[in-house]
Amino acid sequence: MVGVSRKRRRTPPSDWQLPLLTDLGLRPGQQRMLVIIASVAGVLAAAVGFVAVANSIGTYTPERPASAAVVDLGAPLPQVFHGWASPKLFDPVAERSKDAKALTEKEVFSETELTVSKKLKLKLVSKQLDADCAQALWGADLLELTSDAGCTQAARGLYASSDGRYIGQYTLLNLKDGQSAGELVESLKTLYRGGWVHPLSTDKAAFPAGGYSEAGSYALGHYVGLVWLGRADGAEPTVKDDFVSLTLALRGAEKAVYRRVVSITGPSS
């Protein structure tokens, strides 16, 4: 029987035969193992590098969404603001415990007209007394500060000048004591930019959005008076606009506090 010679099949070259490694005498299996080890080491090195870079950047904390109470977008704000401490005249009402009777709307806004000059008057066109000060104010910091100050009442009166040129609002806040009133007035020197009084409005008068206005805060014992003035057209005042006289007239609403001082000390004081 003639033996049939069979040719031995040649093993196909391995995909892992890399010329450089073959020249170094490494078999295909050894080459494959070396590549796998190198790949794993590369991944680990990359991961370590990524962690190092991330740590160097720091931890990311998403920004807290601004509370709607922080900024009342579009709300009228005074561009100029001043604050004054309480005169000694109001020491008798420095503690609400000695002046416990609540304010009334009639008491604060008993006068429907405030005289600026012989020809000019401020006419009361709207008034509101809130037992919750948060109804009259906006701004998270301001609300927190007045809450800590024990604010129990906010009386607001809106005025329009007899010539239709000016608009003003007087607000009286009832706080727990003179110290709280003084601290609020001092804080408002910067705080007013992010929190202020809600303006009253009627078809007779309203603070124009984006218009120019000026304001001041006055500590009056345990009360704080807020005066807010502007031109009805929102324009900046000129030399013909006497905001000083307008402010003094608008503070006529403070007569309610003066009467309370007299009721405690007597007319002779």
Tens of pLDDT, residues 47-78: 445 444 444 444 333 333 333 344 555 678 99
**What pLDDT shows up at residue 69?**
43
Q: Which domain holds residue 153?
A: 80-265
127: in domain: yes
In a shared domain, residues 126 and 48: no
Shared-domain flag, residues 43 and 170: no
**Does residue 64 lie within any of the structural domains?**
no
Domain presence at residue 146: yes
The answer to whether residues 238 and 139 belong to one domain is yes
pLDDT at 72: 55
pLDDT for residue 165: 96
Instruction: State yes or no: pLDDT of 34 exceeds 70.
Output: no
35 and 161 inside one domain: no
Same domain, residue pair 100 and 158: yes
Asked whether residue 207 falls in the same domain as residue 167, the answer is yes
How many folded domains does the chain comprise? Answer: 2
| Each residue's pLDDT tens digit, 196-239 | 999 998 998 999 988 999 999 999 999 999 999 999 999 999 99
pLDDT at residue 209, rounded to an integer: 87
The reply to whether 261 falls in a domain is yes
Domain contains 159: yes
| pLDDT exceeds 80 at position 33 | no
Domain assignment of residue 69, yes or no:
no
Which amino acid belongs to residue 16? W
- Flag whether 164 is in a domain: yes
- The whole-chain average pLDDT of the chain stands at 82
Least trusted range by pLDDT, from 41-50, 98-107, 166-175:
41-50
Residue 266 above 70 pLDDT? yes
Sequence-ordered list of residues with C-beta below 8 angstroms from that of 128, at least 6 positions apart, any chain: 105, 136, 155, 156, 200
> 94 and 29: one domain?
no
pTM for this predicted structure: 0.73
Q: Same domain for 132 and 219?
A: yes
Per-residue pLDDT at 19 exceeds 70: no
**Mean pLDDT lowest among 145-149, 163-167, 191-195:** 191-195
User: Does residue 202 lie within any of the structural domains?
Assistant: yes
Per-residue pLDDT of 81-128, as tens digits, reads 999 999 999 999 999 999 999 999 999 999 999 999 999 999 999 999
Whether 45 and 141 share a structural domain: no
